[in-house]
Structure 1
């Protein structure tokens, strides 16, 4: 990504949206719906069929009187009072707030919308649109639709709002923006002369001469198409959107006639003007040379939305300086953005190298766990690099899942659970080897296990055992399988410690009890074909335990495991 890609593409993307005809199509339906709105109605919505394109448009409008009343009484409702939207909660931050006006109107039509949603097929394209507070309701309904999307290839809804106020706080912004696909499903059209999109972004202050750095608690999400009589441009970075909305508010404040009354802004003229001028190129021109491409792109965008007509340089214009910082942070975040598929191929290579290491170690009759634990050759040292890159990748994966809205988290977990399970079963034994290599270390599961392993294991349990986990299937594939319990070797190491304690005459009764429990655990794993045959290799820590334990219990002691081991039935376990 180039250093100026965000702002240099804003005007082109905006022009592309306008030329697509979606704005005109959406506003035409809104205008038609306003003519049908009765004086007694608070909110009205309607479904418009577009049979030629297998598309439907769902439009929302709210009466001007009700709009004025709700905006004047506006406040935020906490997520604890919004059970219908609990799917937006994340494990990292479960709290967010939504506009009371939007929630109040949404509740009025919730039952009707729920019934309609259940009748819509996955193959139908849908545009959800609305004006002013109708746009707020459209946004909430779109979130509900996104929640229900769980099949690959399902057509996603597009929400287009005109002059809608911001509807939530930073918690809501983060829940939506965390999923890039969700964020791109919202297009908010805001005209420079319309006060409503900026109602809650900052307090109205006609005497302010500079941008207030304390931007309000309402936060934007989605893509914003900002319009003026000079043109239009698009912004996606929420911080940049906030800064520009504040600047637009101040610009209007400087030129606003005293005691001007607020009114519902008509976007019909805006859409018509944009459609008529879209074919002209170069409407905004720089009157002076700006050497920095990023600054030049920002200046052109600000001109297109009616700001910065004097074209001050970044050093003397606080807005340009702020937007430069916003862009740098946004581009950096995108570069580092969470895209599992970007790094997945590299991680597959690392897993393949570990598989090769596992195969070579087996040929040396000691298994990859003990080969790594003892580190007797250069190949063992190379594994440290593979293990580190895989662990960093899956720790990042788990952390990002925790930050996702609950619905998206569940979907993600299902898609990536197989890879995460294989990683855990292959790599956690190596972490166990590192843990017990340090003298005096005990109880890995309680004191040394990483949280990301715990979560990956928990998610597998919550998903239920897949068909491949059935005993008959595991028996057929046991020779090539990984031990299912990724903490198996921690149990072995603890059993070795118990044997050492018995030899030293310490904690005899409790120690013997723990060893019997370990016996039962191992035998259960063997019966289920849940352990790899590698545990029976001559140089493995398990076989070392067995030799120690056999000497301790003597020849007269009998159990299922001792019978299995003494009769060498383990040689047929493959």
Structure 2
């Protein structure tokens, strides 16, 4: 895509369509009316109806970078790509969207657009150095729709682009640097793709001072975002830190980690977002905080495989030292230098990462424990639903006025028993809702077929009784 204005398309073998988007060459593509170039994803379009908050009462729409959305809409409405992609889908071809740098964001939006159409053949998205261009609602909506496995984001630990959307494109250090850097980056990639001589160091468009100012600004802005997120979070598995550590835990403890979990971990690690324990007086451990790690301060040794080697080393250590891990966590202190990390050539100062991984295992175990408890309760609740089903049938037979009216008049003992069952089921439902909101149950609970069926049965049986109970007590007259 380096020599294409917008995109490059290639039909590979007959059953695969590859669409590649190039990065931008102009800084003006990212300078808009707002400081951070943001807007709702459904701004001036109705293509992303699923990308919103799961809160039914007051759903909020996801916010993304406006410049990327504008470019996507322009291409969708004014190019022949839309027709080509839909034709490929109708022929049941695999469509792969890819892009580097800012082109990765465009590729992601095209993928979401096609996923919204719910075709039998889902597309794939592979990006390189794509910036983080959406908010938490954007990320959660994709996860809730179970679309995460169709995205693969690859970044380099030295790449500044994934962090850049944390900065204002209108700030002088950013806008001036991008004005010269974007054409330079584009030319460098073009030369490499065409096997030409690389751009010489002496031809770099920015002076050392300007480059340093640009990098410092981006790192500082990203650090402020991390700091703000940390202050607004509650320690535990319900927050972003807990999600990150749980993700690392699954990678370390299992060879069957889901691809989206691995991608998330590597994306954040490459951005330099780490975890460290927070301590109170006398060394008491009471949680974890996120921090931004400058590239030059990362101490875990690397080879050509980079992060993959670190993950393998940590996995081997935890699997071979379970007793040591448990004892260290119970005592709430880091292991002694000779007890693991140093033996595995991991410097002592990185032992905090090891401790975070062990704590993440506990978070994961808590999720499993909570789920097992709710499944046990569900078996009991289904007995109450069966009793309500019998009550409903008895109210609709033998000349009785019906399910709703019988319960509203509340004249017999079976009506009172039905009310007790209604209350128990409502309490169980409230408990489940609270656990889900605190993220103390698996994230895919709301999409699991068993729980979807239970929820549907609950609404059909209990909600009519809730309404009848409301009017029976005369609350509508308040």
Residue 247 (structure 1) aligned to one of 267, 273, 281: 273
C-alpha distance in structure 2 between counterparts of 1:96 and 1:77, whole Å: 10
Corresponding residue of 1:138: 107
Corresponding residue of 2:226: 215
User: Counterparts of 1:155-554 in structure 2 under 5 Å?
Assistant: 155-179=121-145, 181-200=146-165, 205=216, 212=223, 214-215=225-226, 236=261, 244=269, 245-247=271-273, 250-254=293-297, 286=317, 291-292=324-325, 309-312=346-349, 317=352, 350-360=384-394, 366=400, 369-370=405-406, 373-374=409-410, 376-377=412-413, 379-388=414-423, 391=426, 426-435=461-470, 437-438=472-473, 441=474, 443=476
1:64-99 CA deviation, whole Å, 9 max, x = no partner? x44x77579883321188222552344534343222
Task: Please give the TM-score of this superposition, normalised by the length of structure 2.
Answer: 0.53
Q: Is 1:56 the counterpart of 2:13 in the alignment?
A: no
Task: Pick closer, same or farther for the CA change 1:143–1:433 going to 2, 3 Å.
Answer: closer
5+ unaligned residues in a row in structure 2: which ranges?
A: 168-213, 230-239, 249-256, 275-291, 330-334, 336-344, 436-446
Q: CA deviation at 1:294?
A: 12
Q: Secondary structure of the equivalent of 2:159?
A: coil
Q: Secondary structure of the equivalent of 2:22?
A: strand
Task: Please give the TM-score of this superposition, normalised by the length of structure 1.
Answer: 0.45
Corresponding residue of 1:118: 86
User: Counterparts of 1:67-146 in structure 2 under 5 Å?
Assistant: 75-79=36-40, 82-84=43-45, 85=47, 87=49, 88-90=51-53, 92-111=58-77, 112=79, 113-121=81-89, 123-146=92-115
Q: CA deviation at 1:142?
A: 0.8
Q: Secondary structure of the equivalent of 2:294?
A: helix
Q: CA deviation at 1:128?
A: 1.9
Q: Secondary structure of the equivalent of 2:272?
A: helix
5+ unaligned residues in a row in structure 1: which ranges?
A: 1-32, 226-232, 256-269, 300-307, 401-411, 448-574
Q: CA deviation at 1:189?
A: 1.4
Question: What RMSD, in angstroms, separates the aligned Cα atoms of the two structures?
Answer: 5.9
Q: CA deviation at 1:239?
A: 9.2
C-alpha distance in structure 2 between counterparts of 1:284 and 1:432, whole Å: 53
Task: Pick closer, same or farther for the CA change 1:239–1:189 going to 2, 3 Å.
Answer: closer
Q: Secondary structure of the equivalent of 1:184?
A: helix
Give the conservation status (yes or no) of the 8 Å contact 1:60–1:135. Answer: yes
C-alpha distance in structure 2 between counterparts of 1:155 and 1:386, whole Å: 44
C-alpha distance in structure 1 between counterparts of 2:346 and 2:122, whole Å: 38
Q: CA deviation at 1:138?
A: 0.8
Task: Pick closer, same or farther for the CA change 1:345–1:45 going to 2, 3 Å.
Answer: farther
Q: CA deviation at 1:312?
A: 4.0
Q: CA deviation at 1:133?
A: 1.5
Corresponding residue of 2:116: 147
C-alpha distance in structure 1 between counterparts of 2:434 and 2:423, whole Å: 16
Q: Choose 1 or 2 for highest CA Rg.
A: 1
Q: Secondary structure of the equivalent of 1:191?
A: coil
Q: CA deviation at 1:61?
A: 2.1
Q: Secondary structure of the equivalent of 2:131?
A: coil
Across the two proteins, how many residue pairs are aligned to each other?
347
